[in-house]
Amino acid sequence: MRRRHNVIWSRRAAQDLERLIEYLADDSPSNALRIFSNLRVKVSALCLFPERGRVVPELQSQGILQYRELIVAPWRIIYRISGRTLYVLSIIDSRQNVEDILLRKLIDTKS
Protein backbone atom coordinates (compact mmCIF):
# COMPACT_ATOMS: atom_id res chain seq x y z
CA MET A 1 0.00 0.00 0.00
CA ARG A 2 1.27 3.45 -0.93
CA ARG A 3 1.93 5.89 1.86
CA ARG A 4 0.20 9.20 1.53
CA HIS A 5 2.06 12.47 1.38
CA ASN A 6 0.81 15.48 3.29
CA VAL A 7 -0.15 18.28 0.92
CA ILE A 8 0.57 21.79 2.16
CA TRP A 9 -0.39 24.90 0.21
CA SER A 10 2.06 27.80 0.55
CA ARG A 11 0.61 31.22 1.17
CA ARG A 12 1.66 32.24 -2.36
CA ALA A 13 -0.10 29.26 -3.95
CA ALA A 14 -3.26 29.93 -1.94
CA GLN A 15 -3.15 33.57 -3.07
CA ASP A 16 -2.59 32.50 -6.69
CA LEU A 17 -5.64 30.22 -6.47
CA GLU A 18 -7.75 32.91 -4.81
CA ARG A 19 -6.84 35.52 -7.45
CA LEU A 20 -7.53 33.08 -10.26
CA ILE A 21 -10.95 32.11 -8.90
CA GLU A 22 -11.91 35.73 -8.21
CA TYR A 23 -10.95 36.67 -11.77
CA LEU A 24 -12.95 33.78 -13.26
CA ALA A 25 -15.94 34.45 -10.97
CA ASP A 26 -16.28 37.97 -12.37
CA ASP A 27 -17.28 36.37 -15.67
CA SER A 28 -18.93 33.15 -14.48
CA PRO A 29 -19.26 32.11 -10.84
CA SER A 30 -20.31 28.59 -11.81
CA ASN A 31 -17.27 28.16 -14.08
CA ALA A 32 -15.01 29.50 -11.33
CA LEU A 33 -16.44 26.95 -8.88
CA ARG A 34 -15.97 24.12 -11.38
CA ILE A 35 -12.34 25.10 -12.03
CA PHE A 36 -11.68 25.56 -8.29
CA SER A 37 -13.00 22.07 -7.58
CA ASN A 38 -11.02 20.55 -10.45
CA LEU A 39 -7.75 22.15 -9.33
CA ARG A 40 -8.25 21.05 -5.71
CA VAL A 41 -9.06 17.46 -6.75
CA LYS A 42 -6.00 17.26 -9.01
CA VAL A 43 -3.71 18.59 -6.28
CA SER A 44 -5.24 16.28 -3.67
CA ALA A 45 -4.52 13.29 -5.92
CA LEU A 46 -0.83 14.13 -5.69
CA CYS A 47 -0.83 12.87 -2.09
CA LEU A 48 -0.79 9.30 -3.48
CA PHE A 49 1.28 9.88 -6.62
CA PRO A 50 3.50 12.92 -5.98
CA GLU A 51 5.88 12.15 -8.81
CA ARG A 52 3.05 12.19 -11.35
CA GLY A 53 4.05 15.72 -12.36
CA ARG A 54 7.11 16.42 -14.44
CA VAL A 55 10.19 18.40 -13.46
CA VAL A 56 9.63 22.04 -14.50
CA PRO A 57 11.40 22.18 -17.92
CA GLU A 58 12.50 25.81 -17.61
CA LEU A 59 14.22 24.99 -14.32
CA GLN A 60 15.50 21.59 -15.42
CA SER A 61 17.45 23.26 -18.22
CA GLN A 62 19.21 25.26 -15.48
CA GLY A 63 20.01 22.12 -13.46
CA ILE A 64 17.23 22.76 -10.89
CA LEU A 65 15.44 19.46 -10.43
CA GLN A 66 13.54 19.67 -7.14
CA TYR A 67 10.50 21.49 -8.52
CA ARG A 68 7.76 19.61 -10.30
CA GLU A 69 4.58 20.69 -12.01
CA LEU A 70 1.16 19.31 -12.62
CA ILE A 71 -0.51 20.61 -15.76
CA VAL A 72 -4.22 21.39 -15.45
CA ALA A 73 -4.53 23.30 -18.70
CA PRO A 74 -4.00 26.17 -19.02
CA TRP A 75 -2.48 26.30 -15.53
CA ARG A 76 0.73 24.86 -14.17
CA ILE A 77 0.74 23.90 -10.49
CA ILE A 78 4.31 24.13 -9.21
CA TYR A 79 5.24 21.98 -6.23
CA ARG A 80 8.16 20.43 -4.35
CA ILE A 81 8.38 17.12 -2.54
CA SER A 82 10.26 16.95 0.74
CA GLY A 83 10.13 13.62 2.54
CA ARG A 84 6.47 12.73 3.04
CA THR A 85 5.30 16.30 2.42
CA LEU A 86 4.31 17.89 -0.87
CA TYR A 87 4.43 21.70 -0.90
CA VAL A 88 2.23 23.45 -3.47
CA LEU A 89 4.23 26.58 -4.28
CA SER A 90 2.42 28.42 -7.05
CA ILE A 91 -0.20 28.30 -9.78
CA ILE A 92 0.92 29.85 -13.06
CA ASP A 93 -1.04 30.58 -16.22
CA SER A 94 0.90 28.77 -18.93
CA ARG A 95 -0.22 31.27 -21.55
CA GLN A 96 2.15 33.79 -20.00
CA ASN A 97 5.96 33.78 -20.09
CA VAL A 98 6.60 31.21 -17.38
CA GLU A 99 10.32 31.96 -17.06
CA ASP A 100 9.60 35.61 -16.25
CA ILE A 101 6.91 34.63 -13.73
CA LEU A 102 9.18 32.15 -11.96
CA LEU A 103 12.03 34.67 -11.83
CA ARG A 104 9.73 37.39 -10.47
CA LYS A 105 8.36 35.03 -7.80
CA LEU A 106 11.89 33.99 -6.82
CA ILE A 107 12.95 37.61 -6.46
CA ASP A 108 9.80 38.44 -4.45
CA THR A 109 10.57 35.70 -1.92
CA LYS A 110 14.09 37.03 -1.35
CA SER A 111 12.98 40.59 -0.46
Q: What is the pLDDT of residues 98-110, one digit of tens each?
A: 777 766 766 665 5
Question: How does the average pLDDT of the chain come out, rounded?
Answer: 89
The parts of the chain modelled with pLDDT lower than 70 are 1-2, 102-103, 105-111
> What domains does the chain contain, in order, with CATH numbers?
6-110 (3.30.2310.20)
Closest to 92 in 3D by CA, of 109, 104, 74, 110: 74
pLDDT of residue 94: 86
Q: What is the pTM of this model?
A: 0.85
Using an 8 Å Cβ cutoff, are 52 and 70 in contact? Answer: yes
Give the model's pLDDT for residue 105: 67
